Structure 1
Amino acid sequence: MFKALLFDMDGLIFDTEAVYKISWQYAAETMGFDLTDEFYQRLIGVQDPDCERMLAEHFGEGFDLAEYRTIRDAHYHEARKAGIAFKEGFHTLFAEAKSLQLTIALVTSSALPETKLNFGNTDYLNQFDLVITAEDVANGKPEPDCYVMAHEKLGLSAKDCLVLEDSNNGMRSGKAAGCYAAMIPDIVPPHQDVVESADYIFDSLDQVTALLISQK
């Protein structure tokens, strides 16, 4: 049985990816650029600075990154005033993991302020045994740094850990770190390399809960 669950956040715990996508595309359109769905998929699971570098390279000269950030962030913070919903099945999965006395870590590409904003007034963030955010690693997903850091800081072997991810880059990160990994796709379906390397591909977090129960 796994000793630890390592949770991604955006698109896995929270239904944030759709909001991010709208804001990123809105800002590009406002500035006269076309951020296509196809290109946006390449940004999912990647830290914001790397995403912004990719955008600047993609759009080339005439793309004002500072202006883009301002428009995008203003749109996103306005859109999320209504609150970000937890993904279906998270509450039950978290409770089951706690009842089994599993170690639980949060390993996200988002920065700490955004992470705190998402969890808001809930007590979930305080219940993680470890929280790793974008500020903690030099190389973000799909590099394995964050998940290597997670299992090492927890004092566990990589094979003691089940990574839970919604993105292809997150899955690549978890597998490269040597962990078991389960994908619960959100916006983007698993790519062929992820299909071949994934230990599990589920439709929902409820199936992760069922997996834990089956291993009792």
Structure 2
Amino acid sequence: MSSPKIRAVVFDLDGLMINTEDVFHMTGTELLRRRNKIATKELFALMMGRRANESFAAMKQFMELEETIEALATESWQIFDSFLDEHLGLMPGLTDLLDHIERSGLPKGVATSSDREYLGRMLGRFGLFDRFQMTLTAEDVTHGKPHPEIYLTAAERIGVAPHEMLVLEDSEAGTNAAAEAGAHIISVPHAHSEHMDFSRAKAVASSLADPKILSLIGSAATK
């Protein structure tokens, strides 16, 4: 079967480009430890890939917490920030993949459930923001993942049909959003998402350095 014609590449952010899911797990564990509760794999699965308020609403309901979503979010971000200097890093293969895409001449973008201020902070820590021609955040859409809106909007903004857009995602919610939009979705699970359902992906990659991804970019550059 011939490779699809890929004309753009769009990345998720958390857990895909940057190891923030590691930090989110540490944060959630500490937040709940302060309340004598234990964070579970099921809780993190409910929260992953969704917009912040939706994630904290899920935590509040699942863990039967009394605080408001706003209070939980405020304390959580304080804990999160305290971990960044020691624990934040790029996911394996990201820098080489960005270089590979740039050599191909394909435009690339970011479509994240996080907000714009957070996106700027995370990419800015590694000097990556200017390497993307298009960025979409929670403020740019009405519906969060797994709704396809953000990836339909990404295709429109970057100027390609959805099926011509390679989307890289690490979560089930993000994978389903991209699949529903009609994008060519490759999922890149990590330790916190490897148990999720990625059956709607075109392929599952071991990392951003996986030949499944590199070959698609390479074939796109020759078409």
Q: TM-score, normalised by structure 2?
A: 0.89
CA distance in 2, matches of 1:124, 1:148: 24
CA distance in 2, matches of 1:61, 1:10: 25
CA contact (8 A) 2:6 2:216 kept: no
CA distance in 2, matches of 1:175, 1:202: 16
Equivalent residue, structure 1, for 2:214: 209
Find the residue that maps to 1:55 and give its secondary structure. Answer: helix
Alignment equivalent of 1:138, drawn from 135, 142, 146: 142
Find the residue that maps to 2:47 and give its secondary structure. Answer: coil
Aligned partner letter, 1:184: V
* 1:1-216 equivalence runs, <5 A: 1-60=5-64, 62-82=66-86, 84-186=88-190, 187-189=192-194, 191-192=196-197, 194-195=198-199, 197-207=200-210, 208-214=213-219, 216=222
Task: Provide, for residues 168-203 of structure 1, a one-character-per-residue CA deviation record: whole Å limited to 9, x for no partner.
Answer: 1110000011111000101212644x32x2111110
Find the residue that maps to 1:198 and give its secondary structure. Answer: coil
Find the residue that maps to 1:33 and give its secondary structure. Answer: coil
CA RMSD of aligned residues (A): 1.8
CA contact (8 A) 1:31 1:68 kept: no
How many residues align structurally? Answer: 214
Q: CA deviation at 1:119?
A: 1.6
CA distance in 2, matches of 1:24, 1:190: 19
Distance 1:153-1:160 versus aligned 2 partners, 3 A rule: same
Find the residue that maps to 2:78 and give its secondary structure. Answer: helix
Task: Provide, for residues 71-108 of structure 1, a one-character-per-residue CA deviation record: whole Å limited to 9, x for no partner.
Answer: 31211101002362111111111111111110101111
CA contact (8 A) 1:103 1:129 kept: yes
Find the residue that maps to 1:96 and give its secondary structure. Answer: helix
Find the residue that maps to 1:205 and give its secondary structure. Answer: coil
CA distance in 1, matches of 2:125, 2:164: 31
Task: Provide, for residues 137-183 of structure 1, a one-character-per-residue CA deviation record: whole Å limited to 9, x for no partner.
Answer: 11111110100000011221111101100111110000011111000
Structure 2 residue runs without a partner (length 5+): none
Task: Provide, for residues 110-151 of structure 1, a one-character-per-residue CA deviation record: whole Å limited to 9, x for no partner.
Answer: 111111111225442112111001111111111101000000
CA contact (8 A) 1:174 1:181 kept: yes
Identity value in percent:
23
Structure 1 residue runs without a partner (length 5+): none
CA contact (8 A) 2:188 2:205 kept: yes
Distance 1:12-1:137 versus aligned 2 partners, 3 A rule: same
Find the residue that maps to 1:182 and give its secondary structure. Answer: strand
| Displacement over 6 Å in runs of 4+ | none
